[in-house]
Amino acid sequence: MPSLSIGRIQKEGTEKPTAKMIWDRFPKFVLGFIAASLIFSFVLPADLVSTLKSPLKNIQTFWFALAFTCIGLETRFADLFNKDSKKPAFVFLTAQVFNIFVTLLVAWLIFG
């Protein structure tokens, strides 16, 4: 029988995650984002921030495109459209249709 563990069910024989495991799995870029936000908000002068906006935007766009390219390269569509189970393909296609309609709505609201 499962034992209760702080509001959730924990299976017998499984261990609670340690602080090291949580730290190893934690996305470290979040800390970098928070640090950069704090530096640009409270440390750097406003005129320097306005000067750096354009070059940093170009770098941001490059890394954003690179990140999504890497995500796309790791996607295995053969696993998604497996003959045994159609659920992952259905969920994927449903999410894509939802994203298309949300993007269309946002674009319509912004650009009229």
**How many separate domains does the chain show?**
2
Residues 71 and 81 both lie in one domain: no
User: Hey, how many other C-beta atoms are within 10 angstroms of the C-beta on 92?
Assistant: 14
Range of the structural domain that residue 51 is part of? 1-75
Whether residue 88 sits in one domain with residue 59: no
Same domain, 53 and 100: no
- Could you read off the pLDDT of 29-88 as tens digits, one per residue? 999 999 999 999 999 999 999 999 999 999 999 999 998 898 888 877 777 777 777 787
Residues 66 and 95 in one domain: no
Rounded distance, CA 109 to CA 103, Å?
Answer: 10
Q: Could you say which DSSP state residue 26 is in?
A: S
pLDDT average, residue stretch 86-96: 84
Residues 34, 81, single domain; the answer is no
Same domain, 70 and 81: no
Of 102 and 7, the one with more pLDDT: 102
